[in-house]
Amino acid sequence: MNEQELCRKRLLDLSRQADRKGIVLFSDFLNLNEQNIFHSLQKELYTTAELSGGYEQAERQMVAFIPDALCYEWSYPFVCIHAVPQYPKYAEKLTHRDVLGALMHLGLDRSKIGDIVVLENDIYIFCSETISSFIMDQFTQIRHTMIRSSIIEDVSTLKVHPVFEEHDDMVASNRIDAIIARAYHLSRSEAAAYLTAEKVFINGRCITNCNQSCDNGDIVSVRQKGRFVFETDQSLSKKGKLRVRFMIYK
């Protein structure tokens, strides 16, 4: 049984158990491939299901499987850890890769960790409650920078916003191959290769069809390239090209 089949089986089993026991059950944090599998299962689930990553536009998300006859309040079993340098004056400029590398060096399971948001000297790590104490105890250094951490238990009060680079441009159409070609300076054939290799996602769903249209507000992820929010008001230039904006995640 391959990884996709295992993921499919695990998600269906969680939905089945939630329905049978009458309680809310949760997946680990899902990457985009796993979210695509989840979206493909909608007609097979035994319960309703909701996704959350702790903040709007989170990439890695956890699924809650919610039985119909539910009579209690529930919340997602994850927290947000806020880490800052102990000595900001001497802190290195840290990246997402630096933070993730330091966490993986501790032997943590990637599926227990959600998004990592780095905003200057503020680092926000969404993680499962089951590993939060371990991270608080053991996560003390990133590269040569010593850090201190605190837990934000109520993530609903947290205002985390991704940092974007904005690029205004014009494209021939809103076809996904044209969009990613323009966003990442690729030829149309190179863009098509990413699609056929199942490396392109729109709002968490894998897209392989070059003719798929991209709508205003869609979040587009391209493996090995990054992700962006696609924006357009559908206005056209004098030459008939579509005016668009790429909000590229930094």
Q: What is the DSSP string of 180-238?
A: HHHHTT--HHHHHHHHHTT-EEETTEE---TT-B--TT-EEEETTTEEEEEE----B-T
The CATH class for the domain spanning 3-66 reads alpha beta
Residues in the chain: 250
Lowest mean pLDDT among 53-57, 108-112, 241-245: 53-57
Instruction: Check residue 1 and give its pLDDT.
Output: 67
State which CATH number among 3.90.1150.10, 3.50.50.60, 3.10.290.10, 3.40.47.10 fits the domain covering 164-249.
Answer: 3.10.290.10
Q: What is the pLDDT of residues 57-113, one digit of tens each?
A: 899 999 999 999 887 899 999 999 999 999 998 999 999 999 999 999 999 999 999
- Partnered with residue 93 across adjacent β-strands are none
Mean pLDDT for the stretch of residues 24-28: 98
Query: Is there a common fold for 3-66 and 164-249?
Result: no
Q: What is the pLDDT of residues 189-205, one digit of tens each?
A: 999 999 999 999 998 88
Q: What is the pLDDT of residues 138-180, one digit of tens each?
A: 999 999 999 999 998 777 777 777 788 999 999 999 999 999 9
Q: Decide yes or no: CATH 3.30.70.330 for domain 78-157.
A: yes
Instruction: Check residue 174 and give its pLDDT.
Output: 93
Sequence ranges of the domains in the chain: 3-66, 78-157, 164-249
